Structure 1
Amino acid sequence: MKASPRLRSGRKVLRRSRVVWGSRRVWLPRLVFWSGAVAIGLVSVLFAVLADGAQHLFGELFISQDGWRRYLPLLVTPAGFALCAWLAATVFPGSQGSGIPQAIAARHLRDDEDRRPILSLRLALGKILLTVTGLFCGASIGREGPTVQVGASVMLTAARWGGMSQERGLILAGSAAGIAAAFNTPLAGIVFAIEEMGRTYQARTNGLVLTAVILAGLASLGLLGNYTYFGMTRDTVSIGTDGALVLACGIVGGLLGSAFSSIALRATRRIRRWNALAPLQRTVVIAAVCGSAVAAIGLVSGGLTFGTGYEQARSAVEGTQLPWYFFLAKFGASLLSMISGIPGGIFAPSLAVGAGLGSAIGSLLGSNIGLAALLGMAGYFAGVVQAPMTAFVIILEMSGNHDNVIPLMCASMLGYGTARLISHEPLYHALSRLFIADAIRRRRLSSRDAEPSAGQG
């Protein structure tokens, strides 16, 4: 008895599916990609543990001491900055700064040879080591931005091993997974990928980003459990009574955030031009000078401005009034740490500045300090990076209170709009162009060197 045409067609499809799904060419790239996503989650957890330990050790050795030992940061911090800058320039070139500009630049570069100087496993290792060293020396930096470069490096390396294409999508996926695992904020990782990393986002990368975020998040959850970065807050904004607070936090936060971004960009460009005459020596000198200023600010503020600022931000979110000057001191320490050129991010310090600003505004208006801190973080962070969706989503997930969605949106949009009126150049994208220019310069030099060789041949 002959089979019907429909049955024969079904058997053909089944045989073809078995061949395809049993093929090594199909499974190997997927396994490598999944392994890379899990690895990002595990590395992010290790990075967090090392960073927290380094910051705690700095506090135990110096901040909590009495007598002459409390003045040791005046020596330790500038020496640590100089060491980090020297190692970043000689041993791990391409690891300087946040790491997010490098990941953005890599998405715009087409050749793998151009990407290797800013995304590789060697750089990922250097980024972790130098960021942890910077925190041990009291730098006002964070690990979240560096985790983006680490995640992109791990994913791009996995792609090379697995023979995968879609490098730009994989860099995007690795960056999103890094943010998601660093903050335990999967939605923020996806929004960050769409809004900040991939302004030319393609729908076909959806699966890559979602899969990477899920697997990295599962790895992080398996080790640390489910947690909210700033704990839980139950306070809710009332538009009737807290409308002035939302407006003030958004507008003032946007003004201060755009000031940070503008000053950082101008200072970075001028320092790069000044360093061109004697790159290594002047790089180390600038780092040491910035480290000395960071140490001085830290001592004057009673140690509040050293490190990420996570503890101060969390205490503000929980309702503790921060000193009125904290946001100004943390602003200065974070700005100096960034322009020093040492590896380290601005995510956590920016949230701390925003929390301090909100705390000061809340105290002035007689508002709830915890709510004011959240709104201040949204306005300031959106002003710094000009990414309002990322700002309110990441703060929403970190605080665990979904009743404040609209007020956080308003504060973020006000901060973003105010910043755009002053500065039309988003910080990370402006910095990424410096790395793209470096890649073009390297390619031109290599082409110029190759021409005499070709002529001699």
Structure 2
Amino acid sequence: MSDTPLPRGGARRWTPARYRALLRAQGPRSVRFRTRLAILTGAVAIGLAATIFARAADAAAEVFGGYAARHPWAPLVTTPLLFAGLVWLTRRYVPLARGSGIPQVIAAQADPERGTRSLVSMRTVIGKALLTLVAVLGGASVGREGPTVQIAAAVMGLSHRLLRVPLRGAVLIAGGAAGVAAAFNTPLAGLLFAIEELASAYEQKVTLLVIAAIVIAGMVAQSVQGDYVYFGLIGAHMPLVSALVAVPLAGVIGGIVGGLFSRLVLTLATGTHRVTRWTKRQPIWFATACGGIVGALGVATGMTWGTGYGAARAMIAGVDAPLWFGPAKFVATLATAVAGLPGGIFAPSLAVGAGLGNLLHALLPGSPASAIVILGMVGYFAGVVRAPLTAVIILSETTVSRGLMLPMFATAFIADGISQLVCREKLYHGLSRTFAMPARDAPGASPPA
């Protein structure tokens, strides 16, 4: 037997060969190291991109607000023309940039490598960002959150391509969810959105790298924009007796109206009856008509332009608003969503929900106004996107109303159940079918819609 003692604990000796093997497995040139670096750099870039896009959208909204104040009747002409121009530009140059952006990310998960060259390519998302900003300049009822999700997924895909590492569907989920976290300054909502909506399965494994992307992007955005709360420090709460009446009302009404919105959008996007056939044959004229509706509502009310953030924040703070705001904003958002131009529905949906909450408060005058408005927002948002956990956490993080958590959860789950009765298919997943890519080399695969 050899008298050479073994290293303490029986560990193997560190030899040059073992060092080289370790470097190959985990060193700077290894796939594992480059994957982590791709996630890190992608998440930082997403935080910066989301911040720049948010500030540009806010600036565009201010420009339009000044224009509408100086020329109150002009949008009757300019908004329809802008809708027509945007739809022509989108169809001509970046057809995959139309709509929210979230359906594209869902569809791209089927083949991430191909998706990053089409649905979430840099060409597509640059066009998406520019055209969304133009839509905001024209007074369209669009939000920036959906486009931010598509932009974020493209940025994450680009970081992986530059570092030459394999791209998985989970990476696009991470990018999209990081976009939500950065857009709203809501990291928990971003994580739940990844599980509940983008992955569409609670059993989906969310790795530490995915969570890290969400947290890093949110931290970068927060460091640039400051530690802010999206709707302000509201801290709403509600007595149990009031909640027993308000929660079922908000859940049922939000589910019905939100489900109706989803059903109308999906019908016009995927339907085959005479009206939808005409809209597909004459997309420019249809967009012009939609722009006319948005322009007429905006001129008549002065409140339905853009995201509706200002009106929603005022109602959450307890400021009385006209009872017609919710229905008017619903129509403006619907007309914008079906027109075919780029832009999201997150923020406008929250504004519609605030309007519904304002209507509910008129029926329940003894209840706290802020709490009723927030429940209306949760109910309608959950009814539209059918992601009840995301709806609750977004409103909880954007208003710091943690004392309202149980009523919000109850409202969201009621709204989700009622919405399924009105519209069986989830909105974003239904729309993702219009962007679906056929499986590579699959026999009998149909061409993309």
Asked if Structure 1 and Structure 2 have the same fold, meaning a TM-score greater than 0.5 normalized by the shorter chain, the answer is yes
Task: Output the CA distance in 2 between the equivalents of 1:57 and 1:248.
Answer: 38
Structure 1 residues 4-27: Cα deviation after superposition (integer angstroms, max 9, x where no partner): 254562544984545643341243
Contact 1:322–1:360 (8 Å) recurs in 2: no
Task: Output the CA distance in 1 between the equivalents of 2:95 and 2:237.
Answer: 46
Structure 1 residues 103-136: Cα deviation after superposition (integer angstroms, max 9, x where no partner): 00111x2363355221111111111111110010
Shift of 1:254: 0.8
Pick one of 1, 4, 16 that aligns with 1:2: 4
Pick one of 47, 57, 76 that aligns with 2:78: 76
Could you tell me which residue of structure 2 aligns to residue 397 of structure 1?
Answer: 397
Could you tell me which residue of structure 2 aligns to residue 287 of structure 1?
Answer: 287
**1:244 equivalent in alignment to 2:250:** no
- Please give the secondary structure, in 1, of the residue aligned with 2:183: helix
- Computed over aligned residues only, the root mean square deviation of the Cα atoms, in angstroms, reads 2.6
Q: Which moved more, 1:12-21 or 1:314-323?
A: 12-21
Contact 1:169–1:208 (8 Å) recurs in 2: no
Contact 1:363–1:369 (8 Å) recurs in 2: no
Task: Output the CA distance in 2 between the equivalents of 1:7 and 1:228.
Answer: 53
Query: Residue type of the partner of 1:187?
Result: L
Structure 1 residues 299-333: Cα deviation after superposition (integer angstroms, max 9, x where no partner): 111x1000000111111111111110000000000
Structure 1 residues 171-215: Cα deviation after superposition (integer angstroms, max 9, x where no partner): 000010000000000000000000000024665532232111111
Could you tell me which residue of structure 1 aligns to residue 212 of structure 2?
Answer: 211
Task: Output the CA distance in 1 between the equivalents of 2:405 and 2:112.
Answer: 41
Task: Output the CA distance in 1 between the equivalents of 2:117 and 2:198.
Answer: 18
Structure 1 residues 145-169: Cα deviation after superposition (integer angstroms, max 9, x where no partner): 1111111111112222222224201
Change (3 A) 1:325 1:116: same
Shift of 1:338: 0.2
- Please give the secondary structure, in 2, of the residue aligned with 1:440: coil
Q: Aligned runs of 1:250-289 on 2, under 5 Å? A: 250-270=251-271, 282-289=282-289
Could you tell me which residue of structure 2 aligns to residue 99 of structure 1?
Answer: 101
Task: Output the CA distance in 1 between the equivalents of 2:165 and 2:29.
Answer: 13
Query: Residue type of the partner of 1:347?
Result: F
Instruction: Give unpaired runs (5+ residues) of structure 1.
Output: 450-457
Pick one of 437, 440, 456 that aligns with 2:438: 440
Contact 2:116–2:157 (8 Å) recurs in 1: no
**1:31 equivalent in alignment to 2:29:** no
Instruction: Give unpaired runs (5+ residues) of structure 2.
Output: none
Q: Aligned runs of 1:35-54 on 2, under 5 Å? A: 35-54=41-60
Change (3 A) 1:157 1:202: farther
Change (3 A) 1:145 1:285: same
Structure 1 ranges of 4+ moved more than 6 A: 271-279, 441-449
Contact 1:142–1:347 (8 Å) recurs in 2: yes
Could you tell me which residue of structure 2 aligns to residue 454 of structure 1?
Answer: none
Shift of 1:443: 8.2
Task: Output the CA distance in 2 between the equivalents of 1:206 and 1:363.
Answer: 46
Shift of 1:380: 0.4
Contact 2:7–2:13 (8 Å) recurs in 1: no
Task: Output the CA distance in 2 between the equivalents of 1:73 and 1:148.
Answer: 29
Could you tell me which residue of structure 2 aligns to residue 406 of structure 1?
Answer: 406
Q: Aligned runs of 1:39-438 on 2, under 5 Å? A: 39-62=45-68, 64-65=69-70, 69-107=71-109, 109-110=110-111, 112-113=113-114, 116-200=117-201, 204-270=205-271, 282-301=282-301, 303-366=302-365, 367-436=367-436
Task: Output the CA distance in 1 between the equivalents of 2:441 and 2:287.
Answer: 28
- Please give the secondary structure, in 2, of the residue aligned with 1:199: coil
Change (3 A) 1:140 1:442: farther
Change (3 A) 1:441 1:19: closer
Higher helix share: 1
TM-score by length of 2: 0.92
